[in-house]
């Protein structure tokens, strides 16, 4: 599965993205399992709101962190997320 | 309480809380992991006790919560506990046989904040399912699975695999796909509790294992992206033990119906652990300071060959309950390990099960029910 650049991306309805105070990090929760996220992965997933496309997310994060050239990294991570069922289109 | 000693690093906090709400269950699975003498533990924690336990464990960092039993649906306060768990930020999993579940309950639990329902099915046919469960339940379980999906929960189907149903592997996989399971857990029986006394009748042969595993692995690829298959390996046919509970007292905390805190749900069978009760201590005291939770932490307790083995950080010497049940000494290397001097007991168990399978006069399964349990005291 690959990301379709035309379509908006939403976070999975059967997973939960949550800040964990005790671990000081974001985690993804799903049936009997948990994935701990680093900061950049969490930032990307927080943008998956069902309205933004890949290009929108890249623009958003490049502005937020005053940088450029994030496209390859974001696109690669979203593909991993898609294949893990964390996001859908 | 003993306390971890100060030159050790502080243990990691619990991440997983298993709340065994009750030992009562209308089913009678002969591989049930509840203790053999469960009928002698009659008291159950109150609603307030459970809420306190949930609050304390969450504060320490527990995030995954399993409501199990017995059959957790027999507790009338389940929706209230689910609501409390949701408010605290747990991801709550209901581990149920489906018995006693109605559409109304499914909706009520969803509103209370339940995240996921795991339904267990014993086989792919009504006849075998109802035989193993000891109760007519097959059609109802399938309905429950449909309703779980219908109301937007991720649906996990769990099938415990053993000699009586292992030949149904292709049908079990097809049934899970047809029911729309998001996850299928194929859990090869772990031989503790009731499964231990029924082992001669439940343990499949190596050929059966290999055939079933190959079928399941091939199916995994077929349904990739649609249904996730978790295949819990049968460690009797491995040459290294599993890293039981991810290491003693590192991740998992089980609370039994009467409030006894356990590092794994079978630990009650181990002698001399003096497992603490949540009525007497806070979860924090239990986790960090109790003798029980410190008993097999780290590596100092190990005997040879584990003590000097370079794999000990990988598997922690295997399962303490298995070492105890099969070698009589809970400090021994898990006999599943081919380095264990007592590894031969595994071969004997396999052979004994094979002989029993071929014998014409197979003895009957011992079903998990109160009458049989009272006979085990
Ligand atoms: S394994 Fe079977 S008998 Fe044991 S608690 Fe679960 S459903 Fe009940
Ligand atoms: S000897 Fe002990 S530590 Fe080494 S592999 Fe076997 S069980 Fe693991």
Q: Write out pLDDT tens, residues B217-229.
A: 999 888 887 888 9
* pLDDT score of B138: 85
CA–centroid distance, residue B306 to ligand 2 (Å) = 5
Using an 8 Å CB-CB cutoff, list chain A residues near B225: 1, 83, 85
Residue B305 preceded by cis peptide, ω within 30: yes
| CA-closest residue to ligand 2 atom 3 | B312
CA of B192, nearest ligand number: 1
CA of B370, nearest ligand number: 1
| CA-closest residue to ligand 2 atom 2 | B306
Length of chain B measured in residues: 377
ipTM at complex level: 0.85
Residues with CB under 6 A from ligand 1: B 25, 27-29, 32, 34, 69-71, 97, 368
| Closest CB to B182 among A14, A33, A83 | A14
CA of B153 to nearest chain A CA: how many angstroms apart?
7
Hey, are the CB atoms on B118 and A1 less than 8 Å from each other?
Answer: no
Residues contacting residue B288 through CB under 8 Å, at least 6 positions apart: B3, B4, B10, B11
Band the pLDDT of B360: cuts 50, 70, 90.
Answer: low
Average the pLDDT over each of B73-77, B134-138, B346-350 and give the range with the smallest value: B134-138
Q: Which helix (H) or strand (E) holds B49?
A: helix B47-60
Residue B213 touches partner A, C-beta closer than 8 Å: no
* pLDDT score of B38: 85
* pLDDT score of B10: 81
Residues contacting residue A73 through CB under 8 Å, at least 6 positions apart: A40
For B57-102, how does the pLDDT look when each residue is reduced to its tens digit (9 = 90+)? 999 999 999 999 899 999 999 999 999 999 999 999 999 988 889 9
Residue B70 preceded by cis peptide, ω within 30: yes
Q: Using the predicted structure, report yes or no on whether residue B377 has a pLDDT greater than 60.
A: no
**Residue appearing with tokens 């997973």:** A15
Residues B58 and B87: their CA atoms lie apart, in Å, by 11
| Closest CB to A22 among B13, B115, B183 | B13
Alpha-carbon separation of residue B220 from B174, B217, B224 (angstroms): 12, 5, 6
CA dihedral B161→B162→B166→B170, nearest 10 degrees, is: -10
Stretch 10-29 of chain A: residues touching chain B, C-beta under 8 Å: 13-14, 16, 18, 20, 22-23, 27, 29
Residue A4 touches partner B, C-beta closer than 8 Å: no
Closest CA to B184 of A69, A73, A32, A60: A32
Pairing of strands B252-255, B16-20: parallel
CA of B317, nearest ligand number: 2
* pLDDT score of B112: 96
pTM of the model: 0.89
Stretch B321-337: mean pLDDT, rounded? 91
Q: Which helix (H) or strand (E) holds B95?
A: strand B91-96
Q: Using the predicted structure, report yes or no on whether residue B37 has a pLDDT greater than 50.
A: yes
Q: Which helix (H) or strand (E) holds B65?
A: strand B64-68
Give me the sheet containing B155-161, strands edge to edge: B228-232, B183-188, B155-161, B116-120, B91-96, B64-68, B16-20, B252-255, B261-262
Residues B102 and B108: their CA atoms lie apart, in Å, by 10
User: For the purposes of burial, counting CB atoms within 10 Å of the CB of A23, is it exposed (0-12), middle (13-18) or buried (19 or more)?
Assistant: middle
* pLDDT score of B324: 92
According to DSSP, the residues that pair with B119 across neighbouring strands are: B96, B157
CA of A24 to nearest chain B CA: how many angstroms apart?
10
Using an 8 Å CB-CB cutoff, list chain A residues near B115: 16, 29, 31
Residue B152 touches partner A, C-beta closer than 8 Å: yes
* pLDDT score of B6: 45
CA dihedral B273→B306→B31→B54, nearest 10 degrees, is: 50
Using an 8 Å CB-CB cutoff, list chain B residues near A33: 64
B161: helix, strand or coil: strand
Averaged pLDDT score across all residues of chain B: 89
Count contacts between A and B (CB, < 8 Å).
50
Residues in chain A where the model's pLDDT stays below 50? none
Residues B368 and B352: their CA atoms lie apart, in Å, by 22
According to DSSP, the residues that pair with B244 across neighbouring strands are: none
């Amino acid at each position: 599965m690959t990301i379709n650049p035309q379509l908006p991306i939403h976070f999975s309805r059967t997973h939960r993205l949550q800040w964990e105070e005790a671990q000081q990090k974001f985690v993804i929760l799903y049936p009997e399992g948990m994935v701990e996220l680093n900061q950049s992965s969490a930032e990307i997933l927080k943008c998956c709101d069902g309205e933004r496309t890949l290009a929108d997310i890249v623009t958003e994060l490049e502005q937020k962190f005053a940088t450029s050239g994030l496209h390859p990294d974001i696109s690669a991570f979203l593909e991993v997320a898609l294949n893990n069922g964390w996001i859908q289109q | 309480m003993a306390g971890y000693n100060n030159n050790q690093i502080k243990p990691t906090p619990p991440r997983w809380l298993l709340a065994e709400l009750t030992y009562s269950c209308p089913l009678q699975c002969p591989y049930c992991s509840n203790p053999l003498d469960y009928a002698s533990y009659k008291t159950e924690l109150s609603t307030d006790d459970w809420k306190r336990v949930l609050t304390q464990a969450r504060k320490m960092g527990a995030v995954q919560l399993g409501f199990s039993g017995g059959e957790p649906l027999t507790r009338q306060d389940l929706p209230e506990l689910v609501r409390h768990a949701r408010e605290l930020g747990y991801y709550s999993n209901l581990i149920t046989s489906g018995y006693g579940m109605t559409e109304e309950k499914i909706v009520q639990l969803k509103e209370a904040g339940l995240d996921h329902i795991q339904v267990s099915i014993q086989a792919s046919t009504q006849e075998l399912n109802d035989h193993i469960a000891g109760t007519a339940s097959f059609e109802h379980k399938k309905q429950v699975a449909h309703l779980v999906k219908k109301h937007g929960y991720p649906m996990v189907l769990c099938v415990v695999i053993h000699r009586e149903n292992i030949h149904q592997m292709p049908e079990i996989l097809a049934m899970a796909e047809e029911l729309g399971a998001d996850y299928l857990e194929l859990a090869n029986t772990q031989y503790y509790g009731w499964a231990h006394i029924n082992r001669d009748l439940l343990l499949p042969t190596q050929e059966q294992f290999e055939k079933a595993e190959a079928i399941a692995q091939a199916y995994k690829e077929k349904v990739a992206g649609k249904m996730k298959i978790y295949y819990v390996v049968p460690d009797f046919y491995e040459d290294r033990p599993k890293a039981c509970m991810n290491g003693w007292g590192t991740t998992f905390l089980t609370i039994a119906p009467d409030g006894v805190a356990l590092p794994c749900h079978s630990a009650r069978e181990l002698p001399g652990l003096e497992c603490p009760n949540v009525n007497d201590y806070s979860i924090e005291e239990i986790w960090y300071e109790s003798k029980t939770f410190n008993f097999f932490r780290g590596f100092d307790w190990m005997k040879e060959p584990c003590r000097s083995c370079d794999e000990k950080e990988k598997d922690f010497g295997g399962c303490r309950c298995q070492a105890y049940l099969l070698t009589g000494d809970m400090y021994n290397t898990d006999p599943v390990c081919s380095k264990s001097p007592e590894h031969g007991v595994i071969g004997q168990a396999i052979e004994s099960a094979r002989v029993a399978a071929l014998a014409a006069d197979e003895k009957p399964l011992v079903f998990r029910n109160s009458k049989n349990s009272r006979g085990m005291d």
